[in-house]
Amino acid sequence: MSNNYSNNIIEVKNVSIGYSNKKDTFIVSENINFSINKGELISIVGTNGIGKSTLLKTLARIQPQKNGIILLNNKKFNEYSTLDIATQLSIVLTESPSSKNITVKELVSLGRHPYTNWIGMLTEMDEKIIEESLIDTDTVNLVNKKCSELSDGQLQRVMIARALVQDTPIILLDEPTTHLDIYHRAYILKLLKDLANKKKKTIIFSTHEIDLAIQVSHKMIVMTTDKIYFDKPEMLIKLGCFENLFPSETIEFDNELKQFILKK
Partner 1 sequence: MKNQKTYRFYFLVLILILIITFIISISLGTVSIPVREVIISLFGGEPLKSSWKYIILDYRLPKAITAILAGGGLAVSGLLMQTLFRNPLAGPFVLGLSSGASLGVALLILGTGIFGISFGGFLLGSWSLVIASAFGSFLVLLAVLSVTFKVKDTMTILIIGLMFGSVTAAVVSVLSYFSNAEQLQQFVFWSFGTLGNVSWNGILILFFCITIGLWISILTTKSLNALLLGENYAKSMGVNLKLATFWIIVATSLLAGSITAFAGPIAFVGLAVPHLTRQYFNSSNHMVLLPAVFLSGAVLMLICDTVAQLPFIELTLPINAITSLLGAPVVIWLLVRKRKLFF
**Residue among 164, 114, 113 nearest 135 (CA):** 164
In the sheet with 8-20, reading across from the earlier edge strand, the strands are 25-37, 8-20, 67-72, 75-76
Q: How many residues bind partner 1 (CB under 8 A)?
A: 36
Residue 79 near partner 1 by CB under 8 A: no
- What's CA 257's distance to the chain center, in Å? 26
| DSSP conformational letter for 131 | H
Q: How many CB atoms lie within 10 A of CB 5?
A: 10
Report residue 143: phi and psi, to 5°. -50, -35
Residue 62 near partner 1 by CB under 8 A: yes
When the beta carbons of 147 and 212 are compared against partner 1, the nearer one is 147
Residue 91 near partner 1 by CB under 8 A: yes
* Residues numbered 126-145 forming contacts with partner 1, rule: CB under 8 A: 143-144
Residue 164 near partner 1 by CB under 8 A: no
Q: How far is the CB of 102 from partner 1 (least distance, A)?
A: 4
Rg of the Cα atoms in the chain: 19
Among 27, 70, 71, 102, binds partner 1 (CB under 8 A): 102
Residue 21 near partner 1 by CB under 8 A: no
Among 1, 24, 119, 250, binds partner 1 (CB under 8 A): 119
- What's CA 112's distance to the chain center, in Å? 19
Which residues of this chain interact with partner 1, rule CB under 8 A? 57, 60, 62, 82-83, 85-87, 89-91, 93, 95, 97-103, 105-107, 110-111, 113-114, 116, 118-120, 143-144, 146, 148, 166
